[in-house]
Structure 1
Amino acid sequence: MKPILTEERGLVAEIRRATNEANRNNLTRTKAYLDFFQKHPEVHWALLAHLVSRNGGWNMTDLKGEWLPRLMDASEVERTFWFLERCNWLIFHDAYAQLLLYEKMKDANEDLTLFLPDLGVSRFMQPIWQDFLHKRDSQLLTRALIVNEQQYIEQRVVDKPFAQKHIFFSPAFFAQSVLSLNQVLFPYKEHPTDRRLRICGMTVQRFPSLEQRIATGKALYQLLFDNPVRLAKIYEWAQRIPHSGSRADYWPHLFSPRPHAVDAHVAYTPRMEGTELRPGTHKLYSPTLTAAWPDQEHPPADGVDWYRDDKWLAELDERSDLPTIDEEKYIRSLHMIEWGVRFVTAFSP
């Protein structure tokens, strides 16, 4: 094996340093993805990752928001946050290093994919990036990154005993599935004069299944990029509204980052009436990420290269068509969540 030269070590160290710096929390990760896409729009995955990471932040702050503290005890809240944060951190740790290496390759007009193993990237991705340098097949690259990143978290988080015992088989995870709390939303303004954003997205089903997560990722990519007009509107919103972690970023008529007195042991009085709040009621509390959670220290990414079977190459050619949701279905799910909170608090001791 050829020895790594001093300048080569410097390149790897520089990419690792920049990745670690941007991997501080969900806000910095989400911004880094968008900043990268603005410079390199041919890398579609970066915009998809930005929007999915926004949703990850909303899921994190929901744990300290209006409803979930009434459905989960403190230990469940902490464990669920750690699971979401660890997945978000690991995907960024692996994928953003690849994006930065691509940026170096693009600037230098040189194939530097031999550095991918030094960055801990699976050998699955090396021929994909080599092909992208020549053909700029954005769809192939996006699907490959979806497969790779879901494989990356599979052995490092999803398949760990902690997740199996404390996340997927917990009453809280079951309740979130039943009440449709596990959604990915893409907000956008249909017309410039509209007061409110529209919603398109998807409910994530069977998260513990690797195949289902890959199918969901590919379906979300299709939903985002198959309609160029809507894509431009989603992208415009993403650039216009910085990610704070609060759901008030997209629907401030329902959600607010400003807290009000909440007693999780008092029976909940419904506040939603159709698409609006009932007169005289508080907006639903949705904190910013910085108000909800401090930055976390992460242990190093463990694990080995997942790529053992060429069957995963077939995923790069196949579409994945799954049911989508719009704002009407989203509102319906919010009513269901509110009903669930009301039911639980009514019978709580």
Structure 2
Amino acid sequence: MNEKEILSYIGITTKRKNYDNISRTLAYQKYYFQHREIKWAYLASMVSRNAGWSMTDLQGKWFRKSLTEEQRHLLFLTYERANWMIFQDAFPQLLIYSFSKKFNRPLFHLLPHLQVSRFMEEEWLSFWKEPDLDRLMKALIINEQNVIQKPILEKEPYKSHVFKSIPYKFQDLFHFSTVLFPTLEGSLFGFSVYDFSEITNRIDLGKKLAWLLFESGLYEKFVVFSQSVSHTGSRYDYEFLFPDKRKRETPLLRTTYPIISHSLDEGKEDWFHGQNTKKWFKEIKIPKKYELTFWFKHKQDQLHMLTLLQEYWKQRK
């Protein structure tokens, strides 16, 4: 294959696998087990599962009571757009790396043709010369959060109608913005992020989740779960494993949402302009509490109670 054919293949493949949340999740996971040195791909697959669960939450029993249809639709579009953009940027990088391995020569000079940041071109070249698995994983975390910062977090209608809205701040206040990694034993592990709109907070969350996935001693349990339980987009993917046998309260993603057609904004700008990124590579302090099974159930019960109270006061008016 010549370089033009490689770029064409990457464009077609990325579009096909960026179909919806489920296809993205599976693509990340499959790639990781073919190239285990690219740890970010597995992290992305597990975080992508959480994005799917958050999407179907919006059509579940409780959010349908607490949020208007317009609010739920905009929140869904926010999740969908952000995850589409990350995949559209990151998966071509992963494919360039796999082609580089195949031909035994670096092909990262092709990344600008795929609208990938100069920051990542330099990181991939560095990785090719001296592989540092954790450095590359952190670089990809930093890149993905910068990719969505201006187009999603700082752009209307998302900025004012989502990230500054009362329903979003309500979720943020009670730490419902939590990423969970389940096990077949019915346990949940994870971390929360407060003030999701701050890029450093999201990068720190990514680094905490990377630690949890690869360094906490729970890696094998997470792998067994992800390889045993198909991703449907419903939280019932792990709730059915709870000893108290909870009922399904969220639907399947593909029976709930239509396929959303996306396109990249014209004149997409590179977020990297030579600025200092050292602060984002620094080690972070890992909270001692990351087993969240009881916490999650308690927070869900809190949400249900608050929703019922909200419904009660509406009826009283």
TM class, shorter-length: over 0.9
Q: For 1:308, which of 265, 273, 282 is the aligned residue?
A: 273
Q: For 1:326, which of 274, 292, 300 is the aligned residue?
A: 292
The correspondence of residues 36-51 of structure 1 with structure 2, limited to 5 A, is 36-51=31-46
Which residue pairs with 1:247 in the alignment? 235
Shift in Å, 1:231: 0.5
Which residue pairs with 2:307 in the alignment? 341
Q: For 1:181, which of 171, 176, 179 is the aligned residue?
A: 176
Q: For 1:290, which of 227, 241, 254 is the aligned residue?
A: 254
Residues 57 and 245 of structure 1 are in contact (CA less than 8 Å); yes or no, is this contact kept in structure 2? yes
Q: Structure 1: how far apart are the matches of 2:282 and 2:167? A: 36
Residues 187 and 291 of structure 2 are in contact (CA less than 8 Å); yes or no, is this contact kept in structure 1? no
Residues 66 and 284 of structure 1 are in contact (CA less than 8 Å); yes or no, is this contact kept in structure 2? no
Q: Structure 2: how far apart are the matches of 1:66 and 1:253? A: 20
CA deviation vs aligned residue, 1:24-46 (integer Å, no higher than 9, x gap)? 00000000000000101110000
Shift in Å, 1:317: 3.9
CA deviation vs aligned residue, 1:153-202 (integer Å, no higher than 9, x gap)? 0011111021111101212112222343211000113xxxxxx4211001
TM-score by length of 2: 0.94
Residues 54 and 243 of structure 1 are in contact (CA less than 8 Å); yes or no, is this contact kept in structure 2? yes
Q: Structure 1: how far apart are the matches of 2:22 and 2:169? A: 27
Residues 50 and 179 of structure 2 are in contact (CA less than 8 Å); yes or no, is this contact kept in structure 1? yes
Gap regions ≥5 residues in structure 2: none
Q: For 2:201, which of 207, 212, 217 is the aligned residue?
A: 212
1:203 aligns with 2:192: yes
Q: Structure 2: how far apart are the matches of 1:301 and 1:67? A: 34
Residues 175 and 194 of structure 2 are in contact (CA less than 8 Å); yes or no, is this contact kept in structure 1? no
Q: Structure 1: how far apart are the matches of 2:265 and 2:135? A: 26
Query: Counterpart of 2:216 in structure 1: which amino acid?
Result: N
Q: Structure 1: how far apart are the matches of 2:152 and 2:111? A: 22
Which residue pairs with 1:59 in the alignment? 54
Shift in Å, 1:69: 0.8
The correspondence of residues 48-197 of structure 1 with structure 2, limited to 5 A, is 48-189=43-184, 196-197=185-186
Q: Structure 2: how far apart are the matches of 1:327 and 1:301? A: 40
Q: Structure 2: how far apart are the matches of 1:143 and 1:296? A: 29
**3-state SS, counterpart of residue 258 of structure 2:** coil
1:22 aligns with 2:17: yes
Residues 140 and 317 of structure 1 are in contact (CA less than 8 Å); yes or no, is this contact kept in structure 2? no
**Number of residue pairs matched by the alignment:** 313
TM-score by length of 1: 0.86
**3-state SS, counterpart of residue 2 of structure 2:** helix
Query: Counterpart of 1:340 in structure 2: which amino acid?
Result: L
Gap regions ≥5 residues in structure 1: 1-5, 190-195, 255-274
Which residue pairs with 1:227 in the alignment? 216
Query: Counterpart of 1:163 in structure 2: which amino acid?
Result: Y
Which residue pairs with 1:238 in the alignment? 226
Q: How has the CA–CA distance of structure 1 residues 311 and 324 changed in structure 2, closer, same or farther, with 3 Å as cutoff?
A: farther
Shift in Å, 1:320: 4.9
Q: Per residue, is there more helix in 1 or in 2?
A: 2
**3-state SS, counterpart of residue 129 of structure 2:** helix
Percent identity reads: 31
Shift in Å, 1:241: 0.8
Shift in Å, 1:233: 1.0
Q: How has the CA–CA distance of structure 1 residues 308 and 327 changed in structure 2, closer, same or farther, with 3 Å as cutoff?
A: same
CA deviation vs aligned residue, 1:92-145 (integer Å, no higher than 9, x gap)? 000011001101011111110100100100000112111212322110001000
Q: Structure 2: how far apart are the matches of 1:309 and 1:72? A: 42
CA deviation vs aligned residue, 1:68-96 (integer Å, no higher than 9, x gap)? 11110000011000000000100000001
Residues 203 and 325 of structure 1 are in contact (CA less than 8 Å); yes or no, is this contact kept in structure 2? no
Q: Structure 2: how far apart are the matches of 1:221 and 1:287? A: 28
**3-state SS, counterpart of residue 297 of structure 2:** helix
Q: Structure 2: how far apart are the matches of 1:301 and 1:19? A: 17
Q: Structure 2: how far apart are the matches of 1:131 and 1:83? A: 33
Shift in Å, 1:284: 4.2
Shift in Å, 1:324: 3.2
